[in-house]
Amino acid sequence: MTDNYAVSTRAEPRSWYGELTQPGKRTFWACFSGYALDAFDVQIYSLAIPAIIATLAISNTDVGIIATVTLLASALGGWFAGILADRFGRVRTLQITVIWFAVFTFLSGFAQNFEQLLVCRALMGLGFGGEWSAGAVLMAEVIAAKHRGKAVGMVQSAWSVGWGAAVLLSTILFSLMPQEEAWRGLFWAGLAPAILAIIVRRFIQEPEVYTASQKKLKASGEVVRITEIFAPSMLGRTMLLSLMTTGAQGGYYAIATWLPSFLKTERHLSVIGSGGYLAVIIIGSFFGYVTGAYLSDIIGRRKKFMLFAIGAMVTVVIYTYLPINNTLMLFLGFPLGFFASGIFAGMGAFLTENFPTRTRAAGQGFTYNFGRGVAALNPTLVGIATAAMPLGKAIAIFAVIAYLLVIVAAFILPETKGKELAAD
């Protein structure tokens, strides 16, 4: 790529970040920050579950339903944002979605019952899903093909940063405040991402490959239809990508949604104690993202997805199902976070490379968020399953099924490592 984002006369020859000019670096940090804040707003719900159950007098099934509805809404929001990003621009759509999820996370802190919290989280989900769709395609389009896996994967590593911030703030608030007030404070802190929207609007530019595509379409008078991603030539690929994202997210949400509750109810750890275990998982998560980002450019996207899916399956079974002591479980938190989160590194690049520019955001938004919508069933299914089995066993069963889907889809899909993007 030779546009104003990807090349710098002062670039270090071996550094993908050094090859970005100032506008490109601003785009990277805007996308990185947006995804970190996205993660923060999502993860505080999981951390607040025990307190929400106690304060609002709701059940495990109720909190699972809220998590599922939030993810279903995010699937709808992600696809809709992808359509908007193809039509009105990646940057404008990113700005709108950030403001949206920040406002409704804040309002969640005022919920007085199950119904109010359900509505607030569902509306928050629309923006949460949309932010990823706009941000991932924006970053993927401004980076050179040889570094795309690394760069987009590094943006996705921001999830562990946001998760870590949520755990840190949760530990502080629950240590200093009554739980019925602490969980509300967590949600109120979710308003912070709205500040990012101001920065995005002022400093970030549209990718040149996108603007060139729009000029080409305008000159030809051609109208792009969102149904193009379901055309006979694209349908098989669209469905396989949707299957792969269903598996990756299904495994992750089965683990991440219920892990804090698992540590407190089955392992009988305190808020501070469980915070230590989560910290190890989050550190593993960060290194998983970084390692996966580089591997996707070294061994290819498909092999990396299959490798991490196998690692995640093995680790989650040992962590949640086998009778291990707390010390071993502490150390196993690192590979659990490493594989369960690292599997997403390179996914944004892979989805970007599988669609033409004219429908890229819509295609990427649909496949990733279709996966999220189906995967949204896992938190509820795990919650329902706890009526018949221990929570740890339920988490393991649904996570293993999900990761098998990743292996099957990645095995069939074509490799796209090194693919150049065109203004098509």
Token pair in block for residue 298: 């070294």
| CATH numbers and ranges of domains, the chain | 22-412 (1.20.1250.20)
Averaged pLDDT for residues 318-329 = 75
- With b for 16 or more beta-carbon neighbours within 10 A and e for fewer, the 113-141 pattern comes to ebeebbbbbbbbbbbbbbbbbbbbbbbbb
pLDDT number for residue 6: 47
pLDDT band at 224; cut points 50, 70, 90: low
- Per-residue pLDDT tens over the stretch 100-139: 888 898 999 999 999 999 999 999 988 888 887 888 888 8
The most confident of 201-210, 232-241, 276-285, 370-379, by mean pLDDT: 232-241
Higher pLDDT, 353 or 259: 353
Give the end-to-end CA distance of the chain in Å, rounded to a whole number. 15
pLDDT number for residue 201: 62
pLDDT number for residue 271: 47
Placement of tokens 């993810």 in the chain? 71
3 pLDDT more than 50: no
Averaged pLDDT for residues 166-182 = 88
Q: Distance from CA of residue 221 to its chain's centroid?
A: 36
* DSSP string across 360-378: HHHHHHHHHHHHHHHHTHH
Averaged pLDDT for residues 274-288 = 81
- Provide the mean pLDDT of the chain: 82
- Per-residue pLDDT tens over the stretch 375-418: 878 878 888 888 888 887 888 888 899 999 999 999 999 998 88
- Per-residue pLDDT tens over the stretch 226-244: 778 888 888 999 999 999 9
Residue 248 CA to residue 403 CA, distance in Å, equals 6
pLDDT number for residue 272: 47
Averaged pLDDT for residues 7-25 = 62
- Per-residue pLDDT tens over the stretch 146-162: 888 888 888 888 888 88
